[in-house]
Amino acid sequence: MSSVRQIALQAGCSSSTVSLVLRGDPSISEATAERVREVANKLGYKYTPKNNSVPADPNQRHFILVTGDISSNPTGVYAALIYGISDACRELGVRFSLHQLKTAACVEALSAAACDGIIYGMADTAVEQALIAGIKKPILKVMSTPGIDWPYDHVTYNNPVVGRLVGNYLIRHGHRKIVLMGYCSDIFNGRINEARAVIEQNGGLTETLLLPAHASTAEKDELTGIFFAGLRDKKITAIFSPDDSLTVSIYQLLLHQGIRPGQDIKVISCNNEDILEQLRPRPPSVDIHARSIGRMAVRQLLWRLENPDEPAITLQMTPALKQENFR
């Protein structure tokens, strides 16, 4: 019997996305769902297709998740987030649909949609500002770092705790020369800065490599390869990568330099995604609990509908380091 993981690998998506498709969840795009079903059928995976054509109850609450392009084939934390939202809506009797807004101009069409509330995440700043200006329904922001300009409820994770968990873990395991590596972004910078503070407060030394967010893969690999060529001479013993997809590239680049990840140098990651299963040994990774954040977002939006005059609230899930995955 083929496994969900095998289907995910052949369909080019995450295990969470496969699970959503096979249980008939409507939040996944039809193109992705069709590709998953084709692979599942080809591999002989037994599942019962769900019929989602039941007419909606006009009295049922309806929430819309607004995202950017990333939701057309969600992977990793984003698939887990959608999974959590979908699960909570099903359990609480809320109808759930997903809208992709590629530009701020699309917000006007969304404003006419028949829904009770909107969960917003994974879209750009222009879309965010258009939502604030143009949507009169309750809006809840999910994921990303808390900001001062968001006037509605926000459910996310405690980003600084990610860096503190990493810094304390590395110091506790005897590492004193550490590379902090990531892309130029507020989220990754927050994780890296907190890790650096903990490490240096405990007598450790750090070097930081920030990659341009919009550079090509070849350019990033070249920058990283040059940097990694000097790791042995600098006696670096550990690398912190604030994103699991970057961690996969780091493993490949280390091996190219003849450095064995997990043996010659410790690598610690963040997000705890299925993608780490392909790495040997699998690195420890900080789990930001994206699925739980999705579930919490639905409950908070329901609370907001019953308490419209209460001040805006920010709820932050506490991340956890998954050390048991290291082997």
Q: Nearest 5°: CA angle at 194, between 179 and 294? A: 110
- In this model, does residue 260 exceed pLDDT 70? yes
Q: Please compute the mean of the pLDDT values over residues 52-67 and round it to a whole number.
A: 74
Phi, psi of 289 (to 5 degrees): 60, 50
Instruction: Share the mean pLDDT of the chain.
Output: 86
- Residue 95: φ, ψ to 5°: -80, 140
* Helix H or strand E segment including 167: helix 159-172
Q: Specify the residue for token string 């030394």.
A: 205
The pLDDT-based confidence of 26 (bands split at 50, 70, 90) is low
Distance from C-alpha of 39 to C-alpha of 18, rounded to nearest angstrom: 10
Q: Work out the pLDDT band at 49, boundaries 50, 70, 90.
A: low
Write down the pLDDT at residue 27.
Answer: 63
> Domains in the chain and their CATH numbers?
4-157+291-318 (3.40.50.2300), 160-287 (3.40.50.2300)
Going by DSSP bridges, is the β-strand pair 177-183/205-211 parallel, antiparallel, or unpaired?
parallel
Q: Residues 290-312: pLDDT tens digits?
A: 999 999 999 999 999 999 999 99
d(CA 39, CA 48) in angstroms, rounded, equals 15
**Do 178 and 237 meet the contact criterion of CB atoms below 8 Å apart?**
yes
Residues 185-241: tens digit of each pLDDT: 889 999 999 999 999 999 999 999 998 877 777 887 788 888 888 888 899 999 999
Q: Which is higher by pLDDT, 306 or 145?
A: 306
Percentage helix, strand, coil for the chain under 3-state DSSP, each rounded to 5? 45, 20, 35
The contacts of residue 149 (CB under 8 Å, 6+ apart) are none
The tokens of 169 are what?
A: 């873990």
pLDDT at 326: 41
Buried b (16+ CB within 10 A) or exposed e, 189-216: bbbbebbbebbeeeebebbeeebeeeee
Own/partner long-range contacts of 201-206 (Cβ < 8 Å, ≥24 apart): 202/167, 202/171, 203/176, 204/170, 204/171, 204/175, 204/176, 204/177, 204/178, 205/176, 205/177, 205/178, 206/178, 206/179, 206/180
Position 108 pLDDT exceeds 90: no
Q: How far apart are the first and last CA of the chain?
A: 26
C-alpha–C-alpha distance, residues 308 and 266, integer Å: 49
What are the residues whose beta carbons fall under 8 Å from the beta carbon of 276, sequence distance 6 or more? 244, 247, 248, 269, 282, 283, 285, 325
Largest CA distance in the chain: 67
